[in-house]
Structure 1
Amino acid sequence: MSSSTERGAAGHVDRVADYYDNNTRRFLLVAESPGSDAIHRGVWTPDAVTSADAMDTVNRLLIERLRGHVPPGDARVLDVGCGVGATMVRLAREVDGLISGVTISRVQAEIAAKRFAREGLTDRCQVICADFAELPAEPHYDAMVAVEAVVHSPSLKDLLPSLADRLRPGGRLILCDDWLTDKDRGLAARERCLDQFRAGWRIGSLHTVAELDAMSEHAGLRVVEDLDLTSYLRLGRPRDRVVKLAVGATAVVPRLRDRLVEIPLWANMVGGSALQAGLARRWLEYRLIVLEKA
């Protein structure tokens, strides 16, 4: 990697850290299910009756795909981009072993550590405040999960081999995130929408599943499941419509919009509104993808 590329990647990582340091506490206050302490999206599968159920859907899907794939008693699982540790706590209740997590955000790491203490899980859950692209060579993990995290990487192509190196043979890497589609590729409105999503949410890696498949093969991983969850998201909620109006009001003054997107709170609104539009038009899809190491 050239020095200029390295500087660009480091700058992007710093922007991601600043984004989450400044926004995380607000995310917890306005979560789809306040009190759930989860900051990922709710997924309203048919068996999700309450908002708490919807917020737990992704965790449940992860656990189902880990069963039988991690050894009982001494399993090691890593949550890549662990946020405030909600998924880690859920995993610790279902997986017999050590659950580690890594987040770039100092604020998130502090909240997660306090949660583990409250839950009596400090001996089984540990959080590291670091760049998940720079994990130590040891230990190796039986499985890794990443929920709405790898899109923040400056280079998924570089990240995948790094994670694969730290997976034990046969280990699983489960990604739940936003993926590009080829629908309307080249359409000006689509490209503007995706640019706003990237800028607002500090997105560094946005790829199609086909691109992921090729990168995974190069890293010694293979896709064993690809589950489309997009239709189970609730788009266009009242607060989403309010945000859309607020963001749209700045679109008439591009210079103002570009300045506001540097403010973490406003960046979240810009990126979130663009994400809603992208998902509604199927320019983006929310998918859970299971990879296995040979």
Structure 2
Amino acid sequence: MPELSSSVAEYYDRNTRPFLNFFGSGAEVAAIHRQIWGPGVKTEREAFEFLNQLVANEVLGIKGEGLGRVLDLGCGIGGTATWLAQRLGVTVTGLTISAVQAKLATERARKLGLAERCEFVHGDFLDLPNIGPFEAAYAIESFIHAESPARFFTEAARVLRPGGRLVMCDDFLTEKPTPPEAKRWLNLFQSGWHVANLNTVTAAQKQAEAAGFRFLTDRPLSPYLRPVPEWAVNLGAALLNFTPQSSKYWLSLRGSTALQKCIREGWTEYHALVWEREQ
């Protein structure tokens, strides 16, 4: 396994359980992704499940023989995969770089009675095993870990059938020029969260097109994030300067604090992007 992939695997092996302990309502639905307070959302649980519903709405729009097999590229502990299996009746294969997450996801599916419809694989989405074809694939907050974005799209296209959809929800670098002070915060975010690429949406669209995808929609979701108050971001940044550098969890918190600053200043944006594999 390449060095960067190994560091991402270690990051999630060490931090997944602490993340769940920290996320409160997110742990109930096995969500490690952000809350999206979109239209009609009233509770934390609904905010965590917003992206699940967004993915469901997009994959239900696929034309053809019907929706059968779906691929989760960076499945975490299986929250979205099991949600889709329960509500859409689809079969979901989840892929994660973390052996800990694959084990927890498998246990979750078994407890929910979904073992026959949810399979979780320990592997790298830049080197997918022979697991296709799928009618749809999605990546929630995992694309930023792809050290080769072009390879990510090429591999996704390889396992999707023609006409299949790819849904991506993630952080992107703004298209606008950023001031010099942004560099420090962007670097803290990337190092704390093991971000291998921080693409602009335009760059991602070009990489996807080169791999054989046709762009469908871009839904900006930054307005539906609930940013931490600026005073809290500044306080957190000051306190985290004194945390042990060897602590993976505290480095992750530093990355989270930096991301909050980047979102507030408009240096990064959160988008839901949808592509269709060319026929």
SS of the aligned residue for 1:30 comes to helix
**Cross-structure match for 2:266:** 282
**Pair 1:22-2:14 in alignment:** yes
Distance 1:183 1:74, change over 3 A: closer
Letter of the 1:35 partner, please give it.
E
**Pair 1:211-2:195 in alignment:** no
Contact 1:73–1:97 (8 Å) recurs in 2: no
Distance 1:174 1:74, change over 3 A: closer
**Cross-structure match for 1:232:** 224
- Structure 1: how far apart are the matches of 2:69 and 2:202? 29
Deviation at 1:184, TM superposition (A): 3.6
- Structure 1: how far apart are the matches of 2:163 and 2:66? 18
Distance 1:67 1:73, change over 3 A: closer
Deviation at 1:183, TM superposition (A): 2.9
Letter of the 1:293 partner, please give it.
R
**Cross-structure match for 1:162:** 155
**Pair 1:180-2:173 in alignment:** yes
**Cross-structure match for 1:202:** 194
1:148 to 137, 141, 144: 141
Contact 1:225–1:289 (8 Å) recurs in 2: yes
Letter of the 2:121 partner, please give it.
I
Q: Which runs of 4+ in 1 moved over 6 A?
A: 70-74
Contact 1:74–1:96 (8 Å) recurs in 2: no
Letter of the 1:148 partner, please give it.
E
**Cross-structure match for 2:46:** 53
CA RMSD of aligned residues (A): 2.0
Contact 2:71–2:94 (8 Å) recurs in 1: yes
**Pair 1:190-2:195 in alignment:** no
Letter of the 1:236 partner, please give it.
V
Q: How many residues align?
A: 277
Contact 1:228–1:286 (8 Å) recurs in 2: yes
SS of the aligned residue for 2:7 comes to helix
Deviations 1:255-291 (A, max 9, x none): x77x71x531111111101110111111111100001
SS of the aligned residue for 2:274 comes to strand
Contact 1:72–1:96 (8 Å) recurs in 2: no
Where does structure 2 lack aligned partners over 5 or more consecutive residues? none
- Structure 2: how far apart are the matches of 1:287 and 1:51? 20
Contact 1:18–1:264 (8 Å) recurs in 2: no
Contact 1:201–1:268 (8 Å) recurs in 2: yes
Contact 1:74–1:98 (8 Å) recurs in 2: no
Contact 2:162–2:277 (8 Å) recurs in 1: yes
**Cross-structure match for 2:252:** 268
Distance 1:152 1:81, change over 3 A: same
Deviations 1:4-55 (A, max 9, x none): xxxxx81111111111111111111111525232111110113011111111
Deviation at 1:138, TM superposition (A): 3.8
Instruction: Give the TM-score normalised by the residue count of structure 1.
Output: 0.88
Instruction: Give the TM-score normalised by the residue count of structure 2.
Output: 0.93
Contact 2:240–2:250 (8 Å) recurs in 1: no
- Farther off after superposition, 11-20 or 29-38: 29-38
- Structure 1: how far apart are the matches of 2:55 and 2:66? 19
- Structure 2: how far apart are the matches of 1:168 and 1:13? 27
- Structure 1: how far apart are the matches of 2:75 and 2:12? 12
**Pair 1:64-2:57 in alignment:** yes
